[in-house]
């Protein structure tokens, strides 16, 4: 029997949770389910790419602060979903989960599923409470890595189902456009950092490492792309600008911040990069390194979970994210031709272990369990 499945996410931006939501909805539809991807959107906003599934964009109003935005979005999503009817309600973030929790409290829906990609440390008590309620009110909890499965199990005292992320192997391959002129990429070898300038992504550590490397390898470049976010990262931007301002003119000229780029250009961006530098302090899973590896681009990642849970130590270059010199040494190691060739050849094999179709199959089984345990007597 075909089920109507609502996959809800917090925005239309190209962030990991949104990518997961879109890829999951598309894969479910390929397998015969009736999945709809749902997100709030400001006037004129659309998803970062056109999804191959049904969508519902909920009209959203601008807000002056993060707290006001979260409160407004919860109300907007709840109001829009009150008139919708689905068999499965599946939230990918705290905002949409709180909206569904409100509907559950009102008796408008029998319950919902929540995937926790990671949990943030919020200084604002209201944001922290919304984050906690977003998973506490869910009837079934999912997460994308063994690390967060263990953490959430300890916090909740409940069983948490581990799923995963996948890789779109039709798009992310070693073959294809190797150029980057249309993206404004520098000539020669460049290291790529994704996610914009954020503390959690350790962009400042990447900059320190690059400046250390550039002192002995002035031919290399650093490109930073992405950065679409609902959160305020102005402090990280300020710290980054200060360090870059104090660098030599030659080093400053070797750093390029592109901002958000079109999703269609991502495979070419990965392929054009010498290596992806992703020494994050914390991740839910780490999708970008696998996409880069699928394109034959070596990945430099933190020697912490969840990376160490789903990558072997010979499959990427592992670093201490708190030590810029460790990152710089890995960047230098990637410049060795033999090491770069080995990692480039191994990357697609590593990425092949991850498939969105397998992720969707796992979810279909979990939806069956959820329907039997929580909906059969509703």
173 within domain boundaries: no
In a domain, 174, yes or no: no
Are 197 and 344 in a shared domain?
A: yes
Residues 235 and 305 in one domain: yes
Find out whether 275 and 298 touch, Cβ atoms under 8 Å.
yes
Looking at the structure, tell me whether residues 346 and 363 fall in a common domain: no
Residue 85's CATH number: 3.40.50.2000
CA distances for 191 relative to 33, 209, 259, 335, angstroms = 40, 11, 15, 10
Let me know if residue 175 belongs to a domain: no
User: Which tokens go with 345?
Assistant: 């050849």
Q: Which long-range contacts (CB under 8 A, 24 or more apart) does 261-265 make?
A: 261/183, 261/225, 261/226, 263/14, 263/48, 263/49, 264/49, 265/182, 265/183
Q: Are residues 257 and 119 in the same domain?
A: no
Kindly state whether residues 160 and 192 are assigned to the same domain: no
Is residue 16 located within the same domain as residue 79?
yes
Q: Is residue 291 domain-shared with residue 346, that is, in the same domain?
A: yes
Kindly state whether residue 22 falls inside one of the protein's structural domains: yes
The pLDDT of residue 353:
97
Q: What is the pLDDT of residue 259?
A: 79
Looking at residue 374, what DSSP letter applies?
I
How far apart CA 241 and CA 238 sit, in angstroms, is 5
Q: Which residues of the chain have pLDDT under 70?
A: 1, 178-182, 227-233, 376-378
- The answer to whether residues 136 and 223 belong to one domain is no
For residue 211, CA distances in Å to 245, 288, 318 come to 12, 23, 19
CB contact at 8 A, 101 and 137: yes
For residues 361 and 346, membership in a common domain is answered with: no
Q: Are residues 330 and 309 in contact, defined by beta-carbon separation less than 8 angstroms? A: no
How many structural domains is the chain composed of? 2
d(CA 206, CA 36): 38
Spatial distance between the Cα atoms of 91 and 272, rounded to a whole number of angstroms: 35
Q: How far is Cα of residue 360 from the mean position of the Cα atoms in its chain? A: 17
Please indicate, yes or no, whether residues 136 and 20 belong to a single structural domain of this protein.
yes
Is 32 inside a domain boundary? yes
193 bridge partner residues: 224
Is 172 a domain residue? no
In this structure, is residue 200 part of a structural domain? Answer: yes
CA distance 217 to 237: 25
Q: Is 235 in the same domain as 149? A: no
User: Ramachandran region of residue 232, left (φ > 0), alpha (ψ -120 to 50) or beta?
Assistant: beta
**What pLDDT does residue 176 have?**
78
Rounded to 5 degrees, what are φ and ψ at 31?
-95, 15
Residue 171 lies in a domain: no
Is the domain of 149 the same as that of 298? no
What the block records as the tokens of 357 is: 């179709």
Give the domain range for residue 272: 181-351
């Amino acid at each position: 029997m075909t089920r109507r499945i609502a996959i809800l996410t917090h925005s239309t931006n190209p962030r990991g949770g949104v990518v997961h939501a879109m890829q999951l909805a598309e894969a479910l539809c390929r397998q015969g389910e009736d999945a709809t991807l749902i997100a709030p959107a400001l006037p004129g906003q659309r998803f970062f790419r056109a999804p191959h599934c049904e969508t519902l964009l909920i009209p959203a109003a601008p807000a002056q602060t993060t707290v006001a935005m979260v409160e407004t979005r919860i109300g907007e999503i709840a109001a829009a979903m009150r008139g919708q009817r689905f068999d499965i309600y599946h939230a990918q973030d705290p905002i949409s989960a709180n909206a569904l929790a409100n509907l559950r409290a009102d008796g408008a829906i029998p319950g919902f599923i929540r995937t926790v990609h990671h949990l943030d440390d919020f200084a604002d008590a209201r944001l922290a409470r919304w984050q906690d309620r977003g998973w506490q009110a869910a009837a079934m909890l999912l997460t994308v890595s063994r690390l967060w499965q263990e953490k959430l199990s300890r916090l909740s005292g409940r069983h948490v189902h581990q799923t995963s992320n996948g890789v779109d192997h039709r798009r992310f391959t070693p073959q294809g456009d190797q150029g980057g002129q249309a993206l404004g990429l520098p000539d020669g070898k460049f290291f790529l950092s994704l996610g914009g300038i954020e503390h959690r992504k350790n962009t400042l550590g990447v900059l320190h490492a690059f400046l250390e490397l550039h002192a002995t390898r002035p031919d290399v470049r650093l490109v930073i792309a992405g950065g679409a976010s609902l959160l305020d990262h102005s402090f990280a931007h300020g710290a980054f600008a200060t360090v870059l301002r104090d660098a030599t003119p030659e080093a400053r000229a070797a750093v390029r911040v592109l901002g958000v780029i079109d999703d269609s250009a991502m495979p070419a961006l990965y392929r054009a990069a010498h290596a992806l530098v992703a020494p994050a302090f914390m991740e839910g899973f780490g999708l970008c390194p696998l996409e880069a590896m699928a394109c034959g681009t070596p990945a430099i990642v933190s020697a912490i979970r969840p990376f160490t849970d789903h990558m072997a130590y010979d499959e990427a270059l592992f670093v201490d994210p708190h030590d810029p010199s460790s990152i710089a040494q890995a960047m230098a190691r990637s410049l060795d031709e033999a090491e770069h060739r080995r990692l480039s050849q191994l990357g697609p094999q590593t990425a092949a272990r991850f498939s969105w179709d397998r992720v969707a199959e796992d979810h279909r089984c979990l939806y069956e369990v959820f329907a039997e345990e929580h909906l059969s007597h509703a």
